[in-house]
Structure 1
Amino acid sequence: MITDDKLFLGGSWTKPSDPHLLDITSPHDGSLLGRAAQALPADIDRAVAAARKAFDEGPWPRLAPADRIAAVRRLTELRKAHAAEIADLTSTENGSARWFTHAGQTGLTRQADAYLKAAEELAWEEALPGGPQRSIVRREPIGVVAAVIPWNSPFSAALAKVLPALLAGNTVVLKVSPENSLTMNLLARLLEETGLPEGVISVLPADRETSEYLVRHPGVDKIAFTGSTAAGRRIASLAGAQLKRVSLELGGKSAAVLLPDADLDAAVPGLKFGSLLNNGEACIAQTRILAPRDRYEEVVAALKEMMESLRVGDPADEHTFIGPMVRRGQQQRVLDYIRLGVEEGARLVTGGPEVPAGLENGHYVTPTLFADVDNSMRIAREEIFGPVLVVIPYDTEDDAVRIANESEYGLSGGVWSADEARALAFARRIRTGTVTVNGASIGFDGPFGGFKSSGIGREYGAVGLTQYVEYKTVTLQ
């Protein structure tokens, strides 16, 4: 059992203001995994003060970009050296299946490499050509960044914000979910070993009330948030009142569109990963499957066979594909949506609200497929965040575009076709931040983020890096 009785505050381990430790239990069987300190507003005050001093007076924002790049590269190498430990602890604490957490380590490396490449190539200061006077444009750090992340993919969400913030010269207070206390304290130990200057970064597990206290804190200059759209709206309103910089990566209800010529032998295995990754607890999951009406029952039958083949169980087992939901409340939320789908008149093809036999002590949900779904149903419009897919019929490609875009969200999506040019033409019509063609993996050099209620701003690569800079123009006679 792990006991973390201190908080990583300003670069060192410090006694929390509240000595009470939170029990961290296994989503697989409810056993006690460890205990961890939780931050309260008094701890936030200390962390922001340390970050403020480090930014206003310390060396970090004033270092040459190459020096900050070297520090982030050290952190990246440490993370790679501990990849297996990170993956296993995430599976244990979060319930994410082992295949997902171990495969995700490659993604973390690609994510870091893209940010480092962008930082090396960015013109941190450049002279503008022409004009009667000379102008120099500088890209400078914003200040103290409050990075607030969810529980579902903690290392990825944390580093998506911490890496560009640090590369740009900001100082950071990273607020993580209580469910991820043990995993994120492992990140804190890697940050400690990286050797950043005092005050540059804090990693604080805390509840929602403390999170809002951080967001409202007058010492914070920018908020970088990943989480639900409802929470994002609240954060945007608080940031707007104080004119803080803000970037929001929010929810999704993404569509995977099977065009009439799609190869189901390729598409269905691809949807297994694109729609059900991380137990379905993924904002980019393509959980609305749009199928041509004349192939509808063929698609439903193929998806039924795929979903019934998925192994549900212990996330530490390498043969498990679907692990437990992260907590009991999330399990109940997903089960309630399954019951709602039946009440709305959708056809329950496989799965249902019954917990898999033998797994009653954990937070498990049987992978569930609904057919005869109309896009107006709540199970087609609201983010369920679990292993639940809905199949919606369409008549023409124009009809499919309409249904795909008829959503308050616009984060991700996919198109499947035997004709890549046809798929690309369709993808250009989808109002969403990311579209994959025939199951391609999302890249990290290009920007990632959402249209509409799926967020504001972008992450990854050069565009993601510049979300953490202010632009200054200096004009000389």
Structure 2
Amino acid sequence: MSNHTKFYINGEWVDPAVPALLDVIDPSTEEAYTRISLGSAADVNRAVAAARAAFPAFSVTTRTERLTLLRRILEVYNDRFEDIAQAVSQEMGAPISWARDAQAWAGRAHMEAAIKALEDYSFSELRGTTMVVKEAIGVCALITPWNWPLNQIVCKVAPALAAGCTVVLKPSEIAPISGIVFAEVMEAAGTPKGVFNMVNGNGPDVGQVMAGHPDVDMVSFTGSTRAGIIVAKTAADTVKRVAQELGGKSANIILPDADLEIAVRKGVEGCFGNSGQSCDAPTRMLVSRGQHDEALAIARKTAEGFVVGDPRSTETVLGPVVSRLQFDKIQALIDAGIQEGATLVTGGPGRPEHLNRGYYVRPTIFGNVSNDMRIAREEIFGPVLSILPYDDEEQAIEIANDTVYGLAAYIQSQDLEHARRVATRMRAGSVYLNYPDWDTFAPFGGYKQSGNGREYADWAIHDFLEIKGIVGYGA
């Protein structure tokens, strides 16, 4: 029996307080394939009450008890791995190979990282005669996006539970089915009643109610900067902690001493991964002016080698973007790039020629981009790369930092010391040197309008804790 129209509250699958249905669209066909229920304030109140009731007991569980629970969750997650991958592929159009190897894998990797971090985490420290203890902050509202569903769900839920918090999750209503499968995982793992709750819904009717709820102690939000500002303002009235992972417009500086062929090819692949729908994607490629034309040729060849098509095919590299809204936004920005005078190297407006339906975007490369153009300043969230020439290293650093965002930066050089020096100049929460492997133990979060707080492993556990000083403890 499907749980698509139900919420998971206090250990039970329940109907919404007020019936309201929303079609879930397969972006590869533009057709509805299932429906979910949209929640309301009454559903949020019920979920928060369950989490609040469960908190006193769960917050004082031992490390061993929480590790046992997290390991059970990981075991059931692995049992449902293919179901999760299939759900992600259909709800957001991720190619099935990517859904398995990146999307579903990310959830597993974050659960493993949280378990390892909890094994080693220190919750108390005696400083002189004062005992400093770290305690669960309380009931946490977790609001997650559609572009990396399991990545963001697990990198919030797992450390929150590791810290001893209880949670209410609102997955994105655009890509909600993987979140429902995850709730089924939590149920099957024997998560105590009220410790994990899930309510589907939109931002105004559920997300903002969670953010402003007086019995919620913390909000962890991932999404656009625009929505993050609304969440923060709503949460301010109750002075709760707000952790945010927001937008990005990350620069990829290819230094003149880099291997240009490898640096450009991997830069295109990094930008286009997940159909360009990653907040930390290297969407601004900065190349030395003397290497600009050669970089465009390499980028064009790479982009034109991407197989765009049916997410169900293991041959597909790029699927559709998630929705009509996103498709239209991307098309408008591609048009803006052309109108503002950037060189259209490959791609451009419309779908690929062999596709007549679905939210498919042509892999697009722009050259001769200046940093005042919209395609260099706005988050496009599609397979669109802007290549900007620079005259010297100082100008490259200046261009890279000339953005309201600060989520990530990328540096390419065959001289590691050189790359390290440039990395110290980047105003970004993560700096990636020479396309390293994903590290789920590294801190993840942004400077400036890319957010605050840090996620992943022990960094995330820290954010879900309050610090208490017991003075005179050792007297």
Q: How does the TM-score come out when normalised to structure 2?
A: 0.96
**Distance change (3 Å), C-alpha of 1:204 and 1:273:** farther
State the distance in 1 between where 2:253 and 2:138 align: 42
Amino acid at match of 2:454: R
Q: Which residue of 2 aligns with 1:193?
A: 188
**Distance change (3 Å), C-alpha of 1:175 and 1:3:** closer
Q: Which residue of 2 aligns with 1:209?
A: 204
Summarize the alignment of residues 380-395 of structure 1 with structure 2, pairs less than 5 Å apart. 380-395=376-391
Q: Which residue of 1 aligns with 2:80?
A: 82
Q: Displacement, 1:108?
A: 3.0
Secondary structure at 1:147's aligned position in 2? strand
Q: Displacement, 1:74?
A: 1.0
Amino acid at match of 1:380: A
State the distance in 1 between where 2:226 and 2:10 align: 30
Q: Which residue of 2 aligns with 1:22?
A: 22
With 270-279 and 311-320 compared, the bigger mean Cα shift is at: 270-279
Secondary structure at 1:44's aligned position in 2? helix
Q: Displacement, 1:2?
A: 5.8
State the distance in 2 between where 1:234 and 1:182 align: 25
Q: Which residue of 1 aligns with 2:35?
A: 35
Asked if the contact 1:2/1:182 (under 8 Å) is kept, the reply is no
Secondary structure at 2:466's aligned position in 1? strand
- 2:58 is the counterpart of 1:60: yes
- 2:236 is the counterpart of 1:240: yes
Asked if the contact 1:7/1:38 (under 8 Å) is kept, the reply is no
Q: Which residue of 1 aligns with 2:141?
A: 146
State which of 163, 166, 172 in structure 1 corresponds to 2:161: 166
Q: Which residue of 2 aligns with 1:100?
A: 98
State which of 259, 268, 277 in structure 1 corresponds to 2:255: 259
State the distance in 2 between where 1:155 and 1:394 align: 38
Aligned length: 471
> Where in structure 2 are there 5+ consecutive unaligned residues?
none
Q: Note the aligned Cα RMSD (angstroms).
A: 1.5
Q: Displacement, 1:197?
A: 1.4
Q: Displacement, 1:287?
A: 0.5
With 267-276 and 114-123 compared, the bigger mean Cα shift is at: 267-276
- 2:343 is the counterpart of 1:344: no
State the distance in 2 between where 1:414 and 1:351 align: 24
With 362-371 and 32-41 compared, the bigger mean Cα shift is at: 32-41
State the distance in 2 between where 1:294 and 1:149 align: 42
Q: Displacement, 1:403?
A: 0.6
Once the two structures are superposed, residues 276-310 of structure 1 have per-residue CA deviations (whole angstroms, 9 ceiling, x without a partner) of 11100100100100010011000011001111111
Asked if the contact 2:401/2:426 (under 8 Å) is kept, the reply is yes
Q: Which residue of 1 aligns with 2:178?
A: 183
Secondary structure at 1:248's aligned position in 2? strand
Once the two structures are superposed, residues 400-449 of structure 1 have per-residue CA deviations (whole angstroms, 9 ceiling, x without a partner) of 11110111111112111111111111112111111111111231112110
State the distance in 2 between where 1:262 and 1:108 align: 33
State the distance in 2 between where 1:287 and 1:69 align: 38
Asked if the contact 1:34/1:182 (under 8 Å) is kept, the reply is no
Secondary structure at 1:205's aligned position in 2? coil
State the distance in 2 between where 1:415 and 1:372 align: 20
- 2:264 is the counterpart of 1:268: yes
Q: Displacement, 1:3?
A: 6.2
Amino acid at match of 1:277: G
Between the aligned residues of both structures, percent identity stands at: 39
Secondary structure at 1:78's aligned position in 2? helix
Secondary structure at 2:387's aligned position in 1? strand
Q: Displacement, 1:135?
A: 1.6
State the distance in 2 between where 1:235 and 1:319 align: 40
Once the two structures are superposed, residues 163-184 of structure 1 have per-residue CA deviations (whole angstroms, 9 ceiling, x without a partner) of 1111111110001111222211
Q: Displacement, 1:140?
A: 0.6
State which of 266, 283, 289 in structure 1 corresponds to 2:285: 289
Amino acid at match of 1:391: I
Secondary structure at 1:180's aligned position in 2? coil
State the distance in 1 between where 2:429 and 2:258 align: 23
State which of 320, 324, 327 in structure 2 corresponds to 1:324: 320
Q: Which residue of 2 aligns with 1:278?
A: 274
Amino acid at match of 1:87: A
Secondary structure at 1:36's aligned position in 2? strand
Asked if the contact 1:315/1:323 (under 8 Å) is kept, the reply is yes
Once the two structures are superposed, residues 55-114 of structure 1 have per-residue CA deviations (whole angstroms, 9 ceiling, x without a partner) of 14xx21111121012101111121122222211220111111223221124433332222
Asked if the contact 1:2/1:34 (under 8 Å) is kept, the reply is no
Secondary structure at 2:411's aligned position in 1? strand
Summarize the alignment of residues 384-463 of structure 1 with structure 2, pairs less than 5 Å apart. 384-463=380-459
Asked if the contact 2:286/2:388 (under 8 Å) is kept, the reply is yes
Asked if the contact 1:97/1:279 (under 8 Å) is kept, the reply is no
State the distance in 1 between where 2:122 and 2:244 align: 25
With 111-120 and 326-335 compared, the bigger mean Cα shift is at: 111-120
Secondary structure at 1:25's aligned position in 2? strand
Secondary structure at 1:305's aligned position in 2? helix
State the distance in 1 between where 2:366 and 2:35 align: 39
Secondary structure at 1:62's aligned position in 2? coil
Asked if the contact 2:140/2:166 (under 8 Å) is kept, the reply is yes
Asked if the contact 2:412/2:433 (under 8 Å) is kept, the reply is yes
State the distance in 2 between where 1:449 and 1:150 align: 15
State the distance in 1 between where 2:332 and 2:18 align: 35
Secondary structure at 2:199's aligned position in 1? strand
State the distance in 1 between where 2:30 and 2:225 align: 29
Amino acid at match of 1:45: N
State the distance in 1 between where 2:173 and 2:333 align: 25
State the distance in 1 between where 2:90 and 2:355 align: 15
Q: Displacement, 1:322?
A: 1.0
Asked if the contact 2:265/2:298 (under 8 Å) is kept, the reply is no
